[in-house]
Structures are given as C-alpha cells and as structure tokens.
Amino acid sequence: MIWIGNHVSVSKGYLTMGRHAKKLGGDTFAFFPRNPRGGRSKTVSDEELALLRRFLEENSFGKLVVHGAYTMNVCAAKEEVRANSREMLRDDLLRLQALPGNFYNLHPGCHVGQGSETGIRLIAEALAGVIREVEQNSAMPLQNKVLLETMAAKGSEVGGSFEELKAIIDLTADLGGAELREKLGVCLDTCHVWDAGYDIKTGLDRVLADFDRVIGLENLCAVHLNDSKNPLGSHKDRHEQLGKGMIGSDALRAVVRHPLLQGRPFILETPNDDDGYAAEIQSVREWIAPVGAKNCRSYCRDSFLSMKL
C-alpha cells in the first residue's frame, strides 16, 4: 500500500490542513510552513499541533512531507542568500520538532556557477550545521527526517543525479557525524527524474536498481507523483497532470504499484485545483492493486535483484 495526497495550504491553520486533505480523499499531504517563495513562517501553537497530531492518528494518515521554500538555496554564490536560507531551514526544522515522525523535503539548491563540487560541499555544511543547531536549541534529537529531492538538472541545480545526492549525504555524515546519515533521505520526484534522463517509462526497474546501487532504496522515503510536459532528459522541470504528459498513465500506474515503492507517502504536485486533486487521488486509488509478500519476493528476485549482479 501507499499513502496518497497533495499540497494543501497552511493559511487557515494546521488542523484545517488535515481536514482539507481528508476531504479531497487523501491520507497524507504536503505543505509549506512558510510562503513557498520565502518570507516568515506562520506562527503555530503547541495546542494546534497537538490537535493535528491527534487528527492524523485518528484518521490513519501516513507520514507528511513538509516542503521547504523554493527560494531556499543553501549553496548560493552570495553569502547573504546562503545565510538567509540556513535561517529558514533552521526555523522550519525547529518548529517541526513539535510535529515528530514526518519528513521535511527540500530542493538541494543551485550552485550558480560555482560548480557542483562546491555546491555539494556547501549543502553538506549547511545540513550538518543546521541539524546540530536544531538539536542543541530544542534539547532533543531531530524529530523529522530531512529529504533531498531529486532534481531535473536544470541550469546549475545540484541533485540531478543519484550520485550527487549520495555525495551530499556522505559528506554531511563526514562533517556532522555518522549518525546524521540516518537523519537524511531522498524524495523521488517522477517529473524531475524523467526530465533529468532517468527513463521510468520503459525502464522503471533499471532506475530503481540504479537508485539502490548508489543510495539504497531504504533511503527513498517519499515520492512526488507528477507527469511531465517535457520529453525524457529535457532538463526543464515542468509538471503536468497525471496521464496528460510525456510519462503517461501506464508508467505512473507502474510506479504506484511497484512492490519496492510500497509503504511510502506519495504527493501530487500537478497543476490542479481541489477538484482536480480529488479526481487524481481517486484515480491513484483505482490504480493500486494489492501486492502480496509472495508476489513481491518473486518480483524482486526475477526483475530487480538480478540487475544488481
């Protein structure tokens, strides 16, 4: 099984987000704790967070996938931008200490001409430093795993390959301590990996085997389920509604039904209104078929594990 939902607005409060997501048919959701283009985050009380936690538990929601602001760029060329981005990251993670057991997803960043090696170093330095600061300031371990999103390799984006994401995770652990490795994971965006050149349409098993070889599927924690307006390897990052893009319904159905991707939250980031999201959530539920343990073992043995030999 998977959990399915979409982005919902925090503007009317945290509990309202949960109720809205359920109304659309979801059992997970994503949200921006601040304006997605940056700015101050919405003040939230411990009582409001407690109400949301109770609602999620009572309605059997899966893990949430909180999204960092799009303007956050911890590997920017300008020191001021890096500093502001680190502050946003620190503030978000501190606030979310009171909403434990979920995921915080961010775009790794753009190196803006500095080169991917420098970008990877700056991202790792920021992650290692901020996580330690959050733990010190809150006097508790980090309560939510930080996910690096797979990117489309557009412009100077870092994270357009599995190898770059692995390098960030490894260096963060080198800088901040080996235990930080368990506090980091990856969110796989179907539009982004397609636009980056990973053929999930005709070679999904091969892509997952590649991910497992480089990063490890145990570190693939969430999925952004999107179609793409662009052909494979276009490096453009333009999302499309499910089944209306270049990836197509058959391939996306295979993603949500794949035995190796079960047990994860899937978040829709398609260009939609509420009615559109409700319809897509219903479509995904119709796509899902039970995958028994026996079938999963057979599938893995015959079509996946052999690729790693």
The string of pLDDT tens digits covering residues 213-258 is 999 999 999 999 999 999 999 999 999 999 999 999 999 999 999 9
Contact 179, 214 (CB under 8 A): no
Domain that holds residue 219: 3-308
The answer, as to whether pTM is greater than 0.85, is yes
CATH number at residue 63: 3.20.20.150
Tokens 């480089």 sit on residue: 214
Binning pLDDT at 50, 70 and 90, where does residue 289 land?
low
Torsion of CA 72, 197, 211, 178, to 10 degrees: -30
**Structural domains of the chain, count:** 1
The string of pLDDT tens digits covering residues 183-214 is 999 999 999 999 999 999 999 999 999 999 99
